[in-house]
Amino acid sequence: MIDMETLTRLMECTRLDAVSWTRRGLMDNQHGDRVLIVGAGAGGAAFLDVFADEHLIHVAGIVDSNENAVGIQHAKARDIPIFTDLETALDCVGKCMVFNMTNDDDLSDVAAGRVGAGGVIGGKEAKLFWQIISRLQTTQEELWENQSRLKAVIHNVCEGIVTIDTKGKIENVNPAIGQIFGYQQDELIGQNISLLMPEPQKGLHDSYIHNYMRTGEGNVLGRYREVSGLRQNGEVFPLELNVNEMKLAGEDHFVGILRDISERKEAEETMAQLALYDQLTMLPNRTLFYERMESSLSQAQRTKSSVALLFIDLDGFKSVNDTLGHDMGDHLLVEVGKRLLQCIRDSDVAARIGGDEFTVLLTNLHDIDVAAVIANKIIHALNQPVTFKGNSCHVGASIGIATYPSPASDVDDLVKEADTAMYEAKNAGKNRYSIAKPTM
């Protein structure tokens, strides 16, 4: 697609091409800068419109006996002298170049007798010139239309568009840039593009451009990538950015297309929340908990530390659910999740893996006896009454404890050993913990 500056230059060249031959004729034939147009039909009107906008050529008048001719109307709108007779016009205008746009060669002879043969363009020559003018005007109209469409697209797209020079100075922005970053468009023109970047990108940007211009090596041009933007109010937000290099009049520029992806990132986070967290207690679900266990066991292997898994099954939950209703049961589960988090460190993990089953992962342990202390703390916390809408209930907790690297050697062993120990706690009377024993 042709950019706006190129379109403007093409249109300027079109207009100049239309008059350059005439200007050279005026200078070569020494008839000054005054032009007299004979005939106010379509051809004469076209010449008048082109020459009237040319500063070096002065339309001294137009000649036609038909006062309704289109060229006469154009002349009236531009305050150009109007004549109905060529002789009178020549008397008034004096030294000039005459364009005879009629089919009457006698008028060309009359004009040649007054200004010389070299000062008259008529007949086939004038017709050819009029055809050139007509084509150039059509081209100009098409270019203006393309420019208008391009401007409309750039003005209305949701993506931000910004152009900068090789020093990082902002040259142009579209309205979307202002909306995305919170600036007025004119506040950004002339500013360094790093104004829209948080640290550390802000401090590195100018050196990156300098290195690229010096070496021609860069890995960010021509591809979309995610970066951070800085709004006027100081908010840092996620952006998708595509940068390309372009040349105009032999000079290097860079154009960037930016898209605010804050909503997309929020949607992704929501999807992750739905996929990885229990929607009632907002604790990690089974999938995320297993990922955390894998990571914790790998870290324990590197640091020569231990990990303990507490498998927790609530005692008496079914009775609460059946007698006081599901609302009370749900409230109880939420409260259990809160109390579990109060009993462990920020580096530990509590999860709900289904129904009334919870797990706790104690990481980076150097004293395995800590697991039993935490288990007792959890049992005491969960034994406290829970009140909801005037009803009160309480539950107990049977907890199985397994540790890594002994007796469990991997995640599957850890879960199996903790689950087995939990059933041992239930069989021993519930509301207590049991520790998996190393196998001999």
User: Which amino acid makes up residue 111?
Assistant: A
Coil, helix or strand for 166?
Answer: coil
Scanning the structure block, which residue is given the tokens 């000039």?
96
Query: What phi and psi, each to the nearest 5 degrees, are found at residue 16?
Result: -70, -40
Q: From CA 41, how far away is CA 43, in angstroms rounded?
A: 6
Give yes or no for a contact between 284 and 348, defined as CB atoms under 8 angstroms apart: no
Strand partners of residue 398: 313
The encoded tokens of residue 387 equal 């009140």
Give me the phi and psi of 192, to 5 degrees please.
-75, 140
Q: Which residue has the tokens 């006896």?
A: 369
Q: State the Cα–Cα distance between residues 225 and 372, nearest whole angstrom.
A: 49
Distance CA 115, CA 98 (A): 8
The answer to whether 315 is a known catalytic residue is: no
Query: CA 182 to CA 209: how far, in whole Å?
Result: 25
Say if residues 51 and 36 touch (Cβ distance below 8 Å).
Answer: no
Inter-residue contact 333 to 393 (CB < 8 Å): no
Please confirm whether the linkage preceding 175 is cis (ω < 30° from 0): no
β-strand 396-404 against 306-315: which pairing, if any?
Answer: antiparallel
Beta bridge partners of 227: 239
3-state SS, residue 259: strand
Neighbours of 71 (CB within 10 A): 26
Task: Report the alpha-carbon distance of residue 265 to residue 271 in Å, rounded.
Answer: 10
> Which is the catalytic residue, given 315, 348, 356, 419?
356
List, by residue number, the catalytic residues.
Answer: 356
